Each structure stands twice: as structure tokens, then as C-alpha cells.
Structure 1
């Protein structure tokens, strides 16, 4: 064989081998690259924040990156997350705020705990959770941090301890991620009426909260711990056209022994003095219901002056007014003036 031809063939075969080897190497690199897990989308969750309150299931851990991506480091183990899932404290809820998708079609949610102690990525399946957080699964499930509660019997309330301890919040404390105070110091509103418009209870702690609105300034509003307000029972409307207030005084001690509200329900008595006389008598004799209002008391042993004063008070009774009469215990059989006279005579 011609030496030149031999060399030419040798060089061609060697070159072909190198080309084939290079092609095989490139094919291997492309194959390895195609198998590598990488994030293809990473975006902020668009659903409203209250829909993105979640708790971990304990089936998947939280990582610094989506868990199958190279370089992901453990943030919270499955054991830790299982404990947080069963927590009775609202600080251990999570808020999901970003979503990532890998080239393998897996979705991950980035979450942060309400107390800021745990933050990272957790696997949530092959379906985009941002389309329906109520259906999120695998590593997370949706949480309802509060539940509806009964309204108080009286919706008008006042602050029991105005100041900085019980502030007004834009959401019940720790019912939402980054719940904040809308009114730090309630001191200026002590003694003012607020109206309760909503009532909830924390799901985990069962702590009650009211949403209150200031009656004088509706811009002063927010959530407050229910124990920081007291219900204001409205004063019932009284029809003074049919009422006389009566006080019975012990003639010896001067103490009030009966304080009564007399209500005229009779149709045959239209005048207040006649009505009071049927209830208390004429102030000089044991008539009507004196004994029912002041058991053991009598007019009989009163001095003439006290009897006369009683008679005048009853005769001058008016609806809506107060009648004050004196009486003495029946056991004190001797009129007070007689005792005084006897003492004077003995001297």
C-alpha cells in the first residue's frame, strides 16, 4: 500500500473516532442536563391573604429551595411540622405567599409561620395551589384561624380598661399574618359607647373577639378582645304618667326602710293622691298596703306632727314624683313625742 494513502486513511479514521466520541459526550451532557430538576416559574401568590392561611400536614418538610432542587437545605423537618400542625397556639399557623413550579411539573409553596420562626418551600403536588387554596394538599392544608361566634346580648359596649393593654386591631391578634394595631391607645375613648358589629372566636385558643365601632366617631373601629369591653344595658323607658316613687322612713332612726315604685294599673283611679292613699293609707292610720311595703311598721304611734306631714305628702302626690312618709315599728308602742314629754317632766 502506498505510504501516503495509508497515513491519509489512518488520520481520517482517527478524526472520525474523535468526532464520534465528542458526539457521545455531548449527548451524555444533554441527557444529564435534561434530568436535572430546576424551577421554571416562581411568582407571588395572587389569591387573597386570608385564603392562604395554612397548616403543615407533617408529610413533607420545609426547605430553603424547592426540595428536589440542587442545594436545597432543610428548614423544618416533618416531625417539627407535625407538632406545629397539632399546636393549640395561633402563632404556629403559616401564610403561603409564593408559588414555584419545576420542570418536572411539581408545585411548591413558600410559607412563613405567623411567629416568623419558620420560612421556606414545601411540596404541594402537581396542581397549582394558587387557583384554589381550599384544595391545597400534600405538605399543606388550608386553615380557618377564626370561627363565627354568638353576638353579645347587648351590642352597646364600653371599654373596661382604656389604655394600651387592649388595643384595636385590623384582625384579631394572630388570626392573620402580620395583624396590626389600628389604635394603640384607647384612653381618649373611655366612657364612650361602641357598637359590636361582628363576633368571632379564635379556632385554636377559643378566645372571643368583637369588632366594635365608636358611636361618636365611626372611623374609630377595629377588633378587640371581648373581655376588654362591658355591655351597657339600656335604661328602660319608664312611663311616669302612671308611677309614683315612695319612701318610708323609720321615725325613730331616720333610716329608709322601704323604697318602692308604685305603678297605677287601676282604671277607676286617675288621680295620684287617691292612688297613693290606696297603697300607703292616709299617713295617719294603718290602711291599705303599708304593711306589705314595710312589714311591722305602723302609723298609729306617730306624733301628731308626723301624721299631719304624712297626710300632706300623700295629698300632694304627683305621677313621676316622690312621696316620703314616716312610720314606726309596732313594737315601739309609745309615740315619740310622749317619750320626750315624759323625759322633760321627770326632770
Structure 2
């Protein structure tokens, strides 16, 4: 509006051109008499929820209606465009006054939800609807609510005696100056009183930031929260698992007993069931898992080799088992050495291990490691407690992953020229007794038995005697033609478990 007004003055002066001074004076007086003025300014009184708006990016924000003398820019059109595209709920706008000018233009006074920007913006030519630099805006979008019969409780990570990051009077940043839930007229500042409350929900929405909130339908013993909202990330329901958006997290002892379980929805994941999602660096998941383990009386680290590998290989709709220990327990890495039961089947490659803690049988063997994505319950015991060779073997034979290992398949040709597929089957034969130490290692020796097997689904012919150790799921990968040697695998870095 300001630019068009200036243009009209310029054109008028050009038309006058060589006219006399009196004509110029008359024109100037006429311009002053037609200066833009506010003829009406009043507070908007319609329902506040109908006055949520967003910038369109076509007009700037001013300290006064834009064409009025003295108006200063509060936010340029570039800033308005940036705020219009923002994914932050703090940038939502509430319109609260309307003004009209003697030129028939409408201006709205607006403020961002965080109060960072406040001013007047052009709103078209009618007060019946928002136009020009602002448009009506829904601060939330309807989402799929859980089943009305599904029972939810607060996650361990959402229970606090000093903070409330779970309950809201309205979904976060959905309405101007409406924040945390209120109980008996006071803003709720802790959630510990509701740690065992069972909730059901009647509706769900997502806010501008993409966070989901559930409207509380029932809360036995906490009826003061009915009708208010809870962050979906703050609640869990073992009976209500969404395979399209969640990963099931089990907290288990090293013996496989599940002590706690919760459903976790990674942020910013829009893919469907089966999509790989790396949770190894997810701080929210780490915090929730650690607190769940602590609540059950256990200690858990999401950064140890086993748990980190499990989180890294997570999939939407899948289950991840994280292992926890008692506070006085330590877990041991596992090193596996291969020794053939048949001296003629010993590896032909020179042994490279110099670990003096390994017994004589292991020194004549090759140190091997499982594929990096393999996980298994660790060898665990009380700090400084002794364990025997029998204890270690019982652990290995009782572990579904470690009790039987396989080499890649390979072919051998006998004297008559007949080709047969074989694989080496490795089983625990001995282990070195020691004590449980933090970061310690269990050293075990496996016997390699050459066994006839079926042909793999695909084959290669590389005439090599080497190959990587396989777990059961991958053992059909061929390793080429063998010269009769057990597979040779490079020793892992010291202190790294074979998984």
C-alpha cells in the first residue's frame, strides 16, 4: 500500500509538470488532506481458537497499520515467508485486534505464540475473513487415536517429582498462552502422582512440530486430568503396539528374562513396517530404556557393543532386546578360537594370536569373530567372582547363538572326481577359567568338524580356503572351493566381543 501511494504522488507531480506554483501548492494540500488514517480499531471478540493464523509471506509486519505515517517494519516479507514455512509451534500467530483505514484497507494486529513478533499486517479489504498477509491456520491436525479400550500408563521417563513434560491443557503450542495441564486451578508441575494411573483416550492430534497428543477419556483416581491432553511420547501400552510406527523394546536379564517392556515411536519416521531405523544414537530411547531398567532394579547401557548393535539393527514393527545387569554384575566379552578335531584339518595359515591367557589348545587355533550384526546375551557374573571352565561351557552351550557356529559352505572333490558340499560345524570344547572383571574376556575353544551338507542357493568358484564365520541365518553363503582348511578369520581388536 505504501508503494502505490508514493507512485500516485509521483504521477500527479509529473502531470502538473510546468504548471504554476499555485497549482503545486493546491496538489500538496490535497495530498495532506487525503493522508491514510485509521478510522476504526477494536479488539476481536470472536472465539480465540478461530483467530489462529499464519503468515502468507506476501506482506511485511509493521508497528502500525502499514500505510499510516510512522509505521516501522517489525518483520520483512522474507521473515514472514520463513515463519510461514516454520515447523515450530512457537511461530503460530494469534490475531487480536482489527483496524480499518480511510482507504478501506483492513489491518490485523497479531502476535506469535512465543511473543517474539508482534505488530500489524495488511488483511485485505473485508473484516469478514483473514486475507492479504495472514490466513486462517489450524494449529493441529487430526491423528489416529488408540483404541478406546486400550489402557496406557506413563513411561518411566515421564514420571518426575519436579517436572511435567507429559500433561497439557491443550496440545503443546496449539493455543496462545495455553500450556501445561491444570489441576485444581494450578499448573501441574510434577507427574509422580500419576505413575500408576491407567488412561484411555478419545482423540489424537499432531501439532505443527509433528508431535502427537492424546485426549484423556478416562483416568481412574485422576479424574482431574479427564479432557486434558498427554504427549503420546510420554505413555505406553504393551497391549497396543503400532507396527507401522513403533519398535517394541524389551529389557531383559542376561539369562533372557524380560523385566520390562515398552513401545517406542522414533521421531520423524514416516516409513512403514519393516523399515530399518538406527536407534543407537537416539537419546530419548536411551533415557527411557535406562530408566525402565533402573525401575526394575537393573543397570543398562545402550552404548555397550551388544545393546548398541541391537539398536542399530532395529526395524519399524520389530522387537529389540536390550540386556541389563544387576548393579554389582559385570559382563564379559567373548573370544572364540577354532581348533580342528582332526589334525589334518588344522588351518594352514600361521596362528597370529599371542594372548597368554589362552590355553595351549587355543594357541594352536585361529581367533575368529561373528558377523558384526549378531547379538547374544553376554557372559555375566558378580565382580571379581571366579568362574570355572564348566561355568563358561554351560554358558556357551546354553546360548542359542553361540552353541553351534558354521563356516561358509564349500566343495571338495574326491579321488574319483565327485564333488560334495561341506561346511565346518563349530561347537564349544573348552574354555579358560578366570574371574569376572569389568571389560574382561571369556576365551573359548571350538572344535571344527567337517560335515557334508546341501548345496547353497548360489555358488561361486574362487578356489580359496578362507571365509568368514557364519551364524545359522547366513550359513548358506558359499565360500568357493576349499583345499580342506578350516576358514581363517582375522582376529578382532582386543577387548571386542565376538558378535
User: Which has more helix, going by share of residues?
Assistant: 1
Q: Shift in Å at residue 175 of structure 1?
A: 1.5
**Deviations 1:84-114 (Å, cap 9, x if unpaired)?**
1111211111111110011111100001111
TM-score by length of 1: 0.55
**Deviations 1:105-148 (Å, cap 9, x if unpaired)?**
110000111121110000011101xx34xxx2110111111111
Distance in 1 separating the partners of 2:225 and 2:211:
22
Alignment partner of 2:152: what SS? strand
Matched with 2:384 is none
* RMSD of aligned alpha carbons: 2.5
* Runs (5+) with no aligned partner, structure 2: 1-22, 183-187, 241-499
Distance in 2 separating the partners of 1:91 and 1:210:
20
Matched with 1:238 is none
8 Å Cα contact 1:55-1:141 kept in structure 2: yes
Matched with 1:20 is none
**Deviations 1:142-174 (Å, cap 9, x if unpaired)?**
111111111113432111132224242111111
8 Å Cα contact 1:167-1:184 kept in structure 2: no
Matched with 1:162 is 159
Structure 2 residue 209 is the aligned partner of structure 1 residue 205: yes
8 Å Cα contact 1:155-1:197 kept in structure 2: no
Larger radius of gyration: 1
Distance in 2 separating the partners of 1:72 and 1:91:
25
Moved over 4 A (4+): 26-30
Distance in 1 separating the partners of 2:231 and 2:125:
41
Matched with 1:229 is 235
Structure 2 residue 219 is the aligned partner of structure 1 residue 214: yes
Alignment of 1:118-197 (within 5 A): 118-128=117-127, 131-132=128-129, 136-153=130-147, 154-160=149-155, 161-163=158-160, 164-181=163-180, 182=182, 183-197=188-202
* Runs (5+) with no aligned partner, structure 1: 1-23, 235-347
Matched with 1:42 is 41
Alignment partner of 2:193: what SS? helix
**Deviations 1:268-304 (Å, cap 9, x if unpaired)?**
xxxxxxxxxxxxxxxxxxxxxxxxxxxxxxxxxxxxx
Distance in 1 separating the partners of 2:211 and 2:136:
20
Matched with 1:313 is none
8 Å Cα contact 1:124-1:137 kept in structure 2: yes
8 Å Cα contact 1:167-1:185 kept in structure 2: no
Matched with 1:94 is 93
Matched with 2:71 is 72
Distance in 2 separating the partners of 1:217 and 1:171:
17
Cα 1:57–1:230 change in 2 (3 A) is: same
Distance in 1 separating the partners of 2:173 and 2:139:
8
TM-score by length of 2: 0.39
Matched with 2:487 is none
Q: Shift in Å at residue 30 of structure 1?
A: 7.0
Q: Shift in Å at residue 219 of structure 1?
A: 2.0
Matched with 2:315 is none
Distance in 2 separating the partners of 1:143 and 1:216:
37
Distance in 2 separating the partners of 1:207 and 1:127:
35
Q: Shift in Å at residue 52 of structure 1?
A: 1.1
Cα 1:167–1:36 change in 2 (3 A) is: same
8 Å Cα contact 1:168-1:184 kept in structure 2: no
